[in-house]
Amino acid sequence: MTTHADDLTQRIGAPVELAGVAVRRPSKVREGIDPALITTDATALLKRGDIDIAIEVIGGIEPARTLITTAFEQGISVVSANKALLAQDGAALHAAAEAGGRDLYYEAAVAGAIPLVRPMRESLAGDKINRVMGIVNGTTNFILDKMDSTGAGYQEALDEATALGYAEADPTADVEGYDAAAKAAILAGIAFHTRVRLDDVYREGMTEVSAADFASAKRMGCTIKLLAILERAADGESVTARVHPAMIPLSHPLASVREAYNAVFVEAEAAGRLMFYGPGAGGAPTASAVLGDLVAVARNKLAEATGPGESAYTQLPVSPMGDVVTRYHISLDVADKPGVLAQVATTFAEHGVSIDTVRQQGKDGEASLVVVTHRAPDAALSGTVEALRKLDTVRGVASIMRVEGE
Amino acid sequence: MTTHADDLTQRIGAPVELAGVAVRRPSKVREGIDPALITTDATALLKRGDIDIAIEVIGGIEPARTLITTAFEQGISVVSANKALLAQDGAALHAAAEAGGRDLYYEAAVAGAIPLVRPMRESLAGDKINRVMGIVNGTTNFILDKMDSTGAGYQEALDEATALGYAEADPTADVEGYDAAAKAAILAGIAFHTRVRLDDVYREGMTEVSAADFASAKRMGCTIKLLAILERAADGESVTARVHPAMIPLSHPLASVREAYNAVFVEAEAAGRLMFYGPGAGGAPTASAVLGDLVAVARNKLAEATGPGESAYTQLPVSPMGDVVTRYHISLDVADKPGVLAQVATTFAEHGVSIDTVRQQGKDGEASLVVVTHRAPDAALSGTVEALRKLDTVRGVASIMRVEGE
Do residue B288 and residue A124 have CB atoms under 8 angstroms apart? yes
**Which of B124, B253, B287 lies nearest to residue A288, judging by beta carbons?**
B124
Q: Is B288 in Cβ contact with A271 (below 8 Å)?
A: yes
- For residue A25, the cross-strand partners are none
Whole-number pLDDT of residue B336: 85
Distance from CA of A34 to the nearest CA of B (A): 21
For the purposes of burial, counting CB atoms within 10 Å of the CB of B173, is it exposed (0-12), middle (13-18) or buried (19 or more)? Answer: middle
Q: Is the confidence at residue A202, as pLDDT, over 50?
A: yes
Contact B288, A273 (CB under 8 A): no
CA distances to A166, A225, B270 from A138, in Å: 8, 11, 17
Question: Is residue B243 classed as helix, strand or coil in its secondary structure?
Answer: strand
Residue B120: Cβ within 10 Å count: 25
3-state SS assignment for residue B83: helix
Question: Which of A244, A247, A187, A231 is CA-nearest to residue A319?
Answer: A231
Q: Which residues contact B378 (CB under 8 A, 6 or more apart)?
A: B321, B322, B323, B324, B325, B326
Q: Which residues of A are catalytic?
A: 183
Q: Give the separation between CA B18 and CA B294, rounded to whole angstroms.
A: 12
Q: Which of A336, A335, A337, A330 is nearest to A384 (CA)?
A: A330
Alpha helix ranges (H) inside B231-369? 283-302, 340-350
Which of B91, B87, B50, B45 has its CA nearest to residue B70? B45
Phi, psi at B230, each rounded to 5°: -125, 125
For residues A323 and A118, is the Cβ–Cβ distance under 8 A?
no
**pLDDT score at A1:** 37
A41: phi then psi, degrees, rounded to nearest 5: -105, 90
The C-alpha atoms of residue B374 and residue B381 are separated, in whole angstroms, by 10
Quote the CA–CA distance of B46 and B69 in Å, as a whole number. 10
Question: Using one digit for the tens of pLDDT, what is the confidence trace for B190-235?
Answer: 999 999 999 999 999 999 999 999 999 999 999 999 999 999 999 9
Catalytic residues of B: 183
Question: What mean pLDDT comes out for the span A111-138?
Answer: 94
Which chain B residues are within 8 Å of A305, Cβ to Cβ? 300, 303-305
- Which residue on chain A is closest to B113 by alpha carbon? A271
Which residue of B127, B135, B192 is the best one to mutate when testing the A interface, meaning the one whose CB has the most A CBs within 10 A? B127
Average pLDDT across chain A, whole number: 94
All residues at 6 or more sequence positions from A293 whose CB lies less than 8 Å from its CB, including other chains: A79, A105, A106, A107, A108, B126
Contact assignment for B253 to A308 by CB distance below 8 Å: no
* Chain A residues with beta carbon closer than 8 angstroms to that of B271: 113-114, 278-279, 284-285, 288-289
Residue A132 has what pLDDT?
98
Neighbouring residues of B275: CB distance < 8 A, sequence distance ≥ 6: A275, A276, A277, A278, B253, B254, B263, B264, B265, B266
Residues 6+ apart with CB under 8 A from B387: B347, B350, B351
**Strand pairing of B366-373 and B355-363?**
antiparallel
Which stretches of A196-315 are assigned E, i.e. beta strand? Answer: 202-203, 222-232, 239-249, 261-268, 272-279
Per-residue pLDDT of chain B (406 residues; tens, 9 = 90+): 345 888 999 999 999 999 999 999 998 888 889 999 999 999 999 999 999 999 999 999 999 999 999 999 999 999 999 999 999 999 999 999 999 999 999 999 998 889 999 999 999 999 999 999 999 999 999 999 999 999 999 999 999 999 999 999 999 999 999 999 999 999 999 999 999 999 999 999 999 999 999 999 999 999 999 999 999 999 999 999 999 999 999 988 899 899 999 999 999 999 999 999 999 888 899 999 999 999 999 999 999 899 988 999 999 999 999 999 999 999 999 988 888 899 999 999 999 999 999 998 877 777 899 999 999 999 999 999 999 999 999 999 999 999 999 7
B319-323 — which CB contacts under 8 Å span 24+ positions?
B319/B233, B319/B238, B319/B239, B319/B240, B320/B202, B321/B202, B321/B240, B321/B242, B321/B378, B321/B379, B322/B377, B322/B378, B322/B379, B322/B382, B323/B233, B323/B238, B323/B240, B323/B377, B323/B378, B323/B379
Which of B171, B170, B193, B160 shows the shortest CA–CA distance to B259?
B160
Per residue in A315-357, pLDDT tens?
999 999 999 999 999 999 998 888 889 999 999 999 999 999 9
Which residues of B fall within a CB distance of 8 Å from A109?
none
> For residue B262, which residues of chain A lie inside 8 Å, CB to CB?
none
Q: Which of B3, B122, B291, B293 would you mutate first to test chain A, the one with the most A CBs within 10 A?
A: B122
Cβ-contact A80, A106 below 8 angstroms: yes
pLDDT given at position B113: 86
Read off the DSSP letter of residue A343: H
Q: Which residues contact B153 (CB under 8 A, 6 or more apart)?
A: B147, B210, B211
- How far is Cα A88 from Cα A59, in angstroms, rounded to an integer? 12
How far from the centroid of its chain's Cα atoms is residue B370's Cα? 29
Band (pLDDT 50/70/90 cuts) for residue A30 is: confident
Q: pLDDT at position A2, please?
A: 44
ipTM confidence: 0.91
Instruction: Compare CB distances from B123 to A292, A305, A311 and report the shortest one's residue.
Output: A292
**Coil/strand/helix, residue A21:** strand
Alpha-carbon gap: B240 to the closest alpha carbon of chain A (Å): 18
B401: β partners: B329
Task: Count CB neighbours of A365 within 10 A.
Answer: 8
Taking CA atoms, B58 is separated from A135, A202, B72, in Å, by: 39, 47, 17
Dihedral (Cα; A168, A171, A177, A181), 10-degree rounding: -40
Each residue's pLDDT tens digit, B333-353: 998 888 889 999 999 999 999
What's the pLDDT score for residue A180?
Answer: 97
> What whole-number distance in Å separates Cα of residue B141 and Cα of residue B226?
7
Distance CA A31, CA A393 (A): 67
Q: Would you give the end-to-end CA distance of chain B in angstroms?
A: 50
For residue B3, the model assigns a pLDDT of: 55
Distance between A292 CA and the closest CA of chain B, angstroms? 4
Question: Which residue type is seen at B33?
Answer: I
Of residues B122, B278, B287, nearest to A275 (C-beta): B278
- Of B388, B397, B381, B396, which is closest to residue B343 (Cα–Cα)? B388
Q: Are B224 and B148 in contact (CB under 8 A)?
A: yes
Q: How far is CA B251 from the centre of its chain?
A: 22
Q: Which has the higher per-residue pLDDT, B362 or A23?
A: A23
Q: Cα–chain-centroid distance for residue A4?
A: 31
Whether the CB-CB separation of A329 and A357 falls below 8 Å is answered with: no
- Name the least confident of A215-219, A361-365, B165-169, B260-264: A361-365
- Using CB atoms within 10 A of its CB, is residue A121 exposed (0-12), middle (13-18) or buried (19+)? buried
* B183 in Cβ contact with B120 (< 8 Å): no
**pLDDT score recorded for residue A32:** 87
DSSP symbol at A192 = H
Do B292 and A127 lie within an 8 Å CB cutoff?
yes
* Nearest one of B252, B226, B246, B215 to B359, comparing CA atoms: B215
Q: Evaluate whether B375 touches B325 at the Cβ level (below 8 Å).
A: yes
Closest chain A residue by Cα to residue B286: A271
Report the pLDDT value the prediction gives residue B362, as an integer from 0 to 100: 75
Closest CA to B188 of B259, B264, B248, B115: B264
Nearest C-alpha of chain A: how many angstroms from B68? 22
- Give the separation between CA B213 and CA B223, rounded to whole angstroms: 9
The average confidence (pLDDT) of chain B is: 94
CA distances from B203 to B232, B261, B262 (A): 18, 21, 18
Which of B3, B288, B314 is the mutation pick for testing A, counting most A CBs within 10 A? Answer: B288
pLDDT of residue B2: 44
Query: Cβ of A126 and B271 within 8 Å?
Result: no
Helix (H) or strand (E) holding B389: helix B378-390
Question: Is the backbone peptide bond immediately before A377 cis, with ω within 30 degrees of 0?
Answer: no
Which residues of chain A make contact with B284, given a CB cutoff of 8 A? 269-272
CB contact under 8 A, B123 and A119: yes
pLDDT at position A3 is: 54
Q: Angle, nearest 10°, between helix axes B378-390 and B340-350?
A: 140
Q: What structural domains does chain B harbor?
A: 4-112+283-302 (3.40.50.720), 117-279 (3.30.360.10), 323-403 (3.30.70.260)
**3-class DSSP assignment, residue B245:** strand
The CB density around residue B47, as the number of other CB atoms within 10 Å, is 14
Give the Å distances, CA to CA, from B390 to A127, B334, B344, B382. Answer: 58, 12, 11, 13
DSSP string covering B307-321? ------TT-PPBPPG
